[in-house]
Structure 1
């Protein structure tokens, strides 16, 4: 008999959460991510073209899906390096659901892509390259990194192939990103603008192997994979569709149950003191060359876009 997860489920916020669930009938484990204000807070300060912002949003959503499987003190770093218009993506998931990230891109290539109206999505943006996932389970545990090459593949497909090939875990991943307009009825006038939203669904079999074609475990996995594939982008992004309703809509015949909920937030490890310590490692001549037209040294954090300004006199006084 289908199990409705709502009565026993923890309270779930509409946005900025990872919902960890399982399907009891088919023995699969999954995670559903919804990102709203947290994603916008990470993306907006970078003032990137929409295509680069979308690529970074996908990477952050994927980092939340994968990182939330680690122990509470675990960390995950996801990086892509490629020859596409977006050449580098970096997304970090730190314990307790904290996210940060940045992207490097070629403005000329993005402009060419926009003129061509290339329909290939994230795969076309990234081109050919490598995806690296570094897992740090926490204190006392050994770090692990896996690398997988990709050729024009979307980020979700590349990550699913990584888990199937490197971890022997049959995996389904769907990512969705869009901009959402918040108008006068939904927010104060100062906040009436376009905001970034993202959603992601990841399901993995706990019993089936990558090549299980005939046994019951393989059949269960194929059924769940087909059900997961019916999810639409608008369902992952709709703040009015609760996580409980969406999971029940997708997996009601699989006895779906919610196990826990992880809130997501923005973070960064930079600080003025840390930047200052880095600068103090340079010699006087190098520091002098770093000055801008106003005679100041300005350092911008790649992750949070915070600008730190120093004078030579200030640095000399602390050296």
Structure 2
């Protein structure tokens, strides 16, 4: 199995946890969008967080969108995930280049700078749920931790990491989300906080080729961790030429006729997977005929 997410419980259900390995899907995103190293790290972290948060959803058709609007040179990121391990995303400025941080690492915080994180949950109701929080660091894991605390009132520890090879391909990617249930004992809370604070970084664990199960054992072993479920995760975009055609129809016959009058074919790009869809003048004429 390639990339996957595990769901687990510990301390007699007082803790719930998710961990993921996402190297292949992050590398897919890097190749599709030709992202710079710092853009790959930012997008990879958000894709990994989104995949795990998507796995938290209960409904078959539930959709989760993580959107960051920010003042930094990356300009923003968007990730969408479902409850089946499918995730897709893009950055507004994939070519952003920055010097390393003071610690010699990819400076994701500087790439994002100030901004707002929106979490949109479409659960088939009349209106989707939208939770918004300000970015606290731009490092993404801390921003998601803050979102869980402020918007969902769930004490959480989120760790996300992307390691790059020298030729700018993805060497490792993954992370974990650990959450305390409302009935958690003070002793469990104190022990868990101490354990999480003792972990240097999730990238250090990934660099040791640790699987999601091994990472959870490392963090939660003393609490009696029990793996409940294992789900494959992948970069998957559900765009098709037919779906793009429906988007073209929605802009209106007048605008389509203007394209036809220009006498040139058009190309429509999917933001999420960077696939280009070509429509000839004859195809545009056919779209108008069929939409009457």
TM-score, normalisation: structure 1? 0.78
CA RMSD of aligned residues (A): 2.8
Distance 2:122 2:168 in 1: 38
Gaps of 5+ in 2: none
Deviation sequence 1:153-204 (CA, Å, 0-9, x none): 32111111111112111111111101247xxxxxxxxxx9833531111111
* 1:218 lines up with 2:205 in the alignment: no
The offset of 1:140, in angstroms, is 5.8
Alignment of structure 1 residues 274-313 onto 2, 5 Å: 274-280=243-249, 281-282=251-252, 283-284=255-256, 286-287=258-259, 295-313=264-282
Asked if the contact 1:176/1:198 (under 8 Å) is kept, the reply is yes
Gaps of 5+ in 1: 1-12, 182-191, 209-215
Distance 1:248 1:238 in 2: 16
Distance 1:72 1:95 in 2: 7
Q: Which of the numbers 176, 190, 203 marks the counterpart of 1:201?
A: 176
The equivalent residue for 1:22 is 9
Q: Which runs of 4+ in 1 moved over 4 A?
A: 115-120, 139-142, 288-291
The offset of 1:144, in angstroms, is 1.1
Distance 2:106 2:164 in 1: 18
| Paired residue total | 282
Change (3 A) 1:82 1:290: farther
* 1:59 lines up with 2:59 in the alignment: no
Alignment of structure 1 residues 1-319 onto 2, 5 Å: 13=1, 15-24=2-11, 27-73=14-60, 74-105=62-93, 107=95, 110-111=96-97, 113-114=98-99, 121-137=107-123, 139=124, 143-180=128-165, 194-195=169-170, 197-207=172-182, 217-229=185-197, 230=199, 232-238=201-207, 240-280=209-249, 281-282=251-252, 283-284=255-256, 286-287=258-259, 295-319=264-288
TM-score, normalisation: structure 2? 0.85
Distance 2:17 2:188 in 1: 14
Asked if the contact 1:276/1:315 (under 8 Å) is kept, the reply is no
Change (3 A) 1:120 1:180: closer
The offset of 1:98, in angstroms, is 0.5
Residue aligned with 1:45, SS: helix
